A = this chain, B = another copy of it.
Amino acid sequence: MHTIKDLQVKVSEIFDSRDYMSAPSELYEPIQYSLSQGGKRLRPLLSLMSCSLYGGDLDEVKNAAIGLEIFHNFTLLHDDIMDESPLRRGMPSVYHKWDANTAILSGDTMFVVAYEYITDTNPNILIDTLKVFNTTAREVCEGQQYDMNFETQKVTSIDDYMEMIRLKTAVLIAAALKIGAIAARASKEEQLRIYEFGILIGLAFQLRDDFLDAFGNEKTFGKPIGNDIVTNKKTYLYLKAYQLANKETKLKLDSAFAIEDKKQKVKEVLSLFEELNIREITEEKITEMYNQSKQLLKEVDRPEEEKSEMYTFLMKLIKREV
């Protein structure tokens, strides 16, 4: 078993020693730019953590872990085109720094590079790893489509929202853990357990993101507060508020979300959220997921101490304390 600190160092080493440049430079420079920006590199870390938890050899999961991170960055390149996002990790997005065509084609190439790394997995576990990766990649695309659909849909249920964030965010976190378990030759049952654990962690992570956008602290959150409110984004908080509001409050929500002045808008919406107890309800929902995930981890057949280090880290991560 390695400490989380060890694994973080290992992830940094893996990425810092790599260069993605090749010819033509117009294609590979944006890839190099995207992958050198760093970010949390959460997914490879999760793969290494899971492999280590199950007593595996980290070299067996290394390449697949790199593949997962490159895949994740590929989705960001394409998402930024679709969402017209000028920024990514506080820097100009590839879409904005270059153009849409560059983000399309460099993104496609990153997708291939991700598969090249996955392919470079021990043949004994290649098919299992590939299948998890394929299924996950397809689901992430489906999640992005549902997310785009929601923008134009008049009514979105909370169930549909949870399914969307499961596909768009949670499955890749769960897959990262499962691929680590596969690399460590954990049993099918354990693979499934750590996957389900990852789904809960992923959902909690996204709900916490929704929560922090409204009730967070700009410094620890790392993004401006209230952005989801300003853009009328259908978050868990938004949907819950409309679900719980009576006719009169619904009209108030409509008015608040229609306010032009950004500051005023955020203030009014937050006050309605408080009135409807959205803060407590969301926290409760997240806690419910914590408890479920804790229960699942309890069943994982590994030493308590090792599980607890991982869990503590993940809790901090969800709370944006790491």
Contacts and interface: CB of A to CB of B under 8 A. Distances in A.
Interface of A: 23-24, 26-27, 78, 81-82, 100-101, 104-105, 108-109, 111-113, 115-116, 119, 123, 126-127, 130-131, 134, 137-138, 141-142, 144-146, 148-149
A127 B105 CA distance: 25
A148 B109 CA distance: 15
A interface, by DSSP: helix, strand, loop or mixed?
Answer: helix
A108 to B, nearest CB: 5
A311 to B, nearest CB: 32
Given A27-B145, A109-B142, 12 more contacts: A23-B142, A24-B142, A26-B145, A78-B105, A81-B100, A108-B108, A109-B138, A115-B134, A115-B137, A116-B134, A123-B127, A126-B126
Given A104-B104, A119-B134, A146-B24, A141 B112 contact: yes
A127 B119 contact: yes
Given A24-B149, A119-B127, A78 B138 contact: no
A131 B108 CA distance: 17
19 contacts: A24-B145, A27-B141, A27-B145, A78-B104, A78-B108, A81-B100, A81-B101, A81-B104, A82-B105, A104-B104, A105-B144, A109-B138, A109-B141, A111-B111, A112-B134, A113-B138, A115-B115, A115-B134, A119-B130
Nearest to A135: B116
A81 B100 CA distance: 9
Contacts of A119: 127, 130-131, 134
A166 to B, nearest CB: 14
List 6 tightest A-B contacts by C-beta distance, closest first. Answer: A27-B145, A109-B141, A112-B137, A112-B138, A82-B101, A116-B134
Nearest to A81: B104
A203 to B, nearest CB: 19
